[in-house]
């Protein structure tokens, strides 16, 4: 039985609703949704509803951007050997592919190094730097990593290897020894760009580099069209669960359009194995649930370079082979994950008195534990850590819940960890087995302090309450202007109260299908995976839902996708 959620219904602001609705010609509902997201001025609303590449900020506002671009131009002019050191997840792989594609278009050679998730782990390692230096590499650009790699960067500096770090993870307390350090977390709070994923940071670097090369007349055979590479930016941004606000909203809006008509052989082949039509309008969910998991699957259980090779594939035959391999990897990953999650839930049931979970096993695959931690946090609504034990160490991932900054929690245990790093909601860590028990106690103690501030109780944010008659075709069309939906810009959720339920039935073995009515208007409703939670004899209640179009046998009707249901 899922945990009961508290409904948090946003307080209506009638006066501001009226002002925005009249100024912009939108409904009061859309106005309230925007107000709920902090978009409460006509100028902000216009920018939100009509995102434009013209509104991207000057890339040279990022600290060290000028220095990085100068060094890159020097390396290009001197024909130096340049390498990319990328992370093994979809953000790192799309970042690396973006750099490789850009340099290939300039007919400039580029070496790309992707570390092995299992053998090398996250971040830059000295052995890899030694290998790259032995290959006469003199300049390295990192992609989605490097912020916490202080020792490796210090080694690079001492050994004459310049490193330009492009990353977006939480900052280290120490100043980076990198030649140039480009991380949007260096920007002040509220500055456009802080929300960027790693691939977004790389995109801004390439905008800056292209601008300087254009100004200095360095393009001899035309300049790269960066817009056509926004498909990679959208893949990495959505796949990394970055907020779809600010600059990311602009990049992903255009990126989804490029993704629909992409000419990249690897993405075409990947869409085919995902059964996504060639010209289909792309949604963030297509990335999050279909494309990104397959790109990630190589790094989880095989080789991360499979994803990079796919994204950079030049011919469709090779791309199709790689896409099928990654699809098979993803199927194997799903089977492994299901088994691991069952064991993790069993361990969690023995720790229900705790405010967070630390679960581990020597039988778990290190590439799957992040997904296991996510399932724990989602199911039990508690910060969760899943660790794969190998020899003397346990390595894994942490996932959090809203309001709990997981990196700050780990910092309270940092003296017991070999390494750690990440975001507010997700992190990676390594702990020695001798410290594991003490770490679990310290983790619980840090969470206990957080619980005293605000108890961990699941909630559902609801934008406003409606009447069924409010839900018309024009209303759904206007909601579509708020897309793309994702982190920090979720699909609007509404509530209707005191409804009658009719014709309850189970479809697809586990989904609850029924009709809702207020005796004036009747609409179809579906609750995915809800058939075991509510009896078919249910007569009525309050529903929280997302309105959507449902197309069946060429008939298009309005349907409510139920998010939660409260019986009355």
What strand order describes the sheet that includes 357-361?
357-361, 384-390, 393-399, 426-432, 419-422
30 found inside a domain: no
Domain region containing 360: 350-453
From 264, 295, 327, the end of a domain falls on: 327
Using alpha carbons, list the distances in angstroms from residue 301 to 118, 122, 360, 371. Answer: 9, 15, 18, 13
32 found inside a domain: no
334 found inside a domain: no
Strands 426-432 and 419-422: antiparallel
Q: What is the reported pTM?
A: 0.92
- Mean residue pLDDT of the chain comes to 95
Per-residue confidence (pLDDT) for residue 2, from 0 to 100: 62
pLDDT at 568 over 80: no
Per-residue confidence (pLDDT) for residue 536, from 0 to 100: 82
Contact 456, 417 (CB under 8 A): no
Per-residue confidence (pLDDT) for residue 553, from 0 to 100: 80
The average pLDDT across 201-225 equals 95
Per-residue confidence (pLDDT) for residue 476, from 0 to 100: 96
Per-residue confidence (pLDDT) for residue 3, from 0 to 100: 74
In a shared domain, residues 438 and 465: no
434 found inside a domain: yes
Residue of 567, 548, 545 whose CA lies nearest to 559 = 548
In a shared domain, residues 80 and 115: yes
In a shared domain, residues 290 and 397: no
The average pLDDT across 435-456 equals 92
Per-residue confidence (pLDDT) for residue 146, from 0 to 100: 96
47 found inside a domain: no
pLDDT at 341 over 60: yes
In a shared domain, residues 293 and 365: no
From 406, 428, 453, the end of a domain falls on: 453
Per-residue confidence (pLDDT) for residue 182, from 0 to 100: 98
Full DSSP string of 94-110: HHHHHHHHHHHHTT---
Residue of 24, 28, 26, 27 whose CA lies nearest to 13 = 28
What tokens does 57 get?
A: 């900020």
465 found inside a domain: yes
In a shared domain, residues 149 and 280: yes
Report pLDDT digits (tens) over 424-438: 899 999 999 999 999
18 found inside a domain: no
pLDDT at 92 over 60: yes
Per-residue confidence (pLDDT) for residue 519, from 0 to 100: 92
The average pLDDT across 550-558 equals 87
Full DSSP string of 488-541: TBPPP-EEEEEEEEEEEEEETTTEEEEEEE-SS-EEEEEETT-TTTS-TT--EE
The average pLDDT across 145-164 equals 97
pLDDT at 280 over 90: no
From 389, 418, 453, the end of a domain falls on: 453
- Count the domains in the chain: 3
Contact 404, 411 (CB under 8 A): no
HSE-CB at 220 with a 13 A cutoff on CA atoms is 4
In a shared domain, residues 114 and 214: yes
In a shared domain, residues 170 and 133: yes
Q: What percent of the chain has pLDDT over 70?
A: 100
In a shared domain, residues 530 and 439: no
CATH number at residue 202: 3.90.1640.30
Q: What percent of the chain has pLDDT over 90?
A: 90
Per-residue confidence (pLDDT) for residue 455, from 0 to 100: 82
What tokens does 537 get?
A: 């004899």
In a shared domain, residues 321 and 465: no
- C-alpha torsion angle, residues 8, 14, 16, 22 (rounded to 10): 130
The average pLDDT across 75-86 equals 97
14 found inside a domain: no
Per-residue confidence (pLDDT) for residue 534, from 0 to 100: 84
In a shared domain, residues 69 and 182: yes
In a shared domain, residues 187 and 318: yes
pLDDT at 1 over 70: no
Using alpha carbons, list the distances in angstroms from residue 355 to 416, 425, 440. Answer: 19, 16, 11
Report pLDDT digits (tens) over 95-142: 999 999 999 999 999 999 999 988 888 899 999 999 999 999 999 999
CA distance 13 to 463: 11
Handedness of CA 15, 18, 24, 29 (dihedral sign): positive
């Amino acid at each position: 039985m899922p945990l009961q959620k508290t409904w948090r219904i946003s307080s209506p602001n009638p006066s501001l609703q009226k002002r925005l609705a009249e100024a912009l010609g939108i409904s009061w509902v859309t106005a309230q949704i925007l107000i709920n997201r902090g978009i409460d001025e006509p100028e902000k609303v216009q920018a939100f509803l009509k995102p434009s590449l013209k509104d991207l900020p000057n890339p040279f506002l990022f600290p060290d951007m000028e220095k990085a671009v100068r060094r890159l131009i020097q390396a290009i002019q001197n024909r130096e050997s340049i390498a990319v050191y990328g992370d093994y997840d979809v953000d790192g792989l799309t970042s690396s592919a973006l750099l490789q594609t850009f340099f290939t278009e300039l007919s400039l050679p580029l070496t790309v190094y992707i570390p092995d998730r299992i053998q090398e782990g996250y971040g830059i390692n000295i052995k890899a730097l030694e290998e790259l230096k032995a290959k006469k590499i003199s300049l390295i650009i990192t992609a989605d990593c490097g912020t916490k790699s202080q020792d490796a960067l210090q080694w690079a500096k001492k050994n004459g290897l310049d490193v330009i770090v492009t990353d977006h993870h939480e900052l280290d307390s120490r100043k980076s020894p990198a030649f140039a350090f480009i991380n949007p977390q260096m920007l002040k709070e509220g500055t456009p760009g802080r929300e960027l994923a790693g691939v977004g940071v790389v995109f801004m670097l390439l905008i800056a580099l292209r601008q300087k090369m254009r100004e200095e007349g360095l393009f001899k055979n035309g300049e790269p069209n960066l817009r056509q590479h926004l498909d990679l930016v959208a893949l990495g941004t959505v796949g990394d669960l970055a907020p779809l606000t600010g600059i990311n909203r602009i990049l992903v809006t255009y990126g989804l359009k490029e993704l629909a008509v992409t000419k990249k052989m690897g993405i075409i082949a990947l869409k085919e194995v995902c059964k996504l039509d060639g010209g289909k309008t792309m949604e963030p969910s297509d990335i999050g649930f279909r494309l990104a998991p397959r790109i990630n699957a190589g790094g989880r259980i095989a080789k991360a370079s499979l994803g990079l090779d796919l994204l950079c594939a030049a011919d469709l035959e090779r791309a199709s082979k790689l896409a099928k391999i990654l699809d098979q990897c993803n199927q194997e990953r799903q089977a492994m994950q299901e088994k691991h999650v069952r064991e993790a839930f069993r361990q969690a049931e023995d720790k229900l008195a705790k405010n967070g979970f630390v679960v581990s096993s020597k039988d778990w695959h290190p590439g799957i534990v992040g997904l296991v931690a996510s399932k724990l946090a989602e199911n039990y609504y508690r910060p969760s850590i899943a660790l794969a034990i190998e020899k003397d160490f346990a390595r894994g991932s942490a996932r959090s819940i809203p309001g709990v900054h997981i990196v700050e929690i780990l910092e309270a245990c940092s003296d017991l960890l070999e390494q750690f790093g990440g975001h507010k909601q997700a992190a990676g860590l390594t702990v020695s087995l001798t410290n594991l028990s003490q770490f679990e106690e310290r983790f619980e103690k840090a969470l206990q302090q957080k619980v005293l501030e605000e108890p961990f109780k699941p909630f559902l944010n609801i934008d406003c309450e409606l009447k069924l008659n409010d839900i018309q075709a024009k209303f759904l069309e206007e909601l579509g202007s708020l897309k793309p939906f994702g982190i920090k810009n979720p699909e609007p959720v509404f509530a209707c109260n005191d409804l009658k339920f009719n014709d309850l039935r189970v479809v697809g073995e586990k989904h609850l299908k029924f009709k809702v009515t207020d005796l004036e208007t009747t609409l179809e409703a579906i609750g995915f995976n809800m058939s075991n939670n509510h009896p078919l004899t249910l007569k009525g209640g309050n529903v929280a839902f997302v309105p959507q179009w449902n197309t069946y046998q060429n008939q298009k009707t309005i349907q409510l996708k139920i998010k939660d249901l409260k019986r009355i």
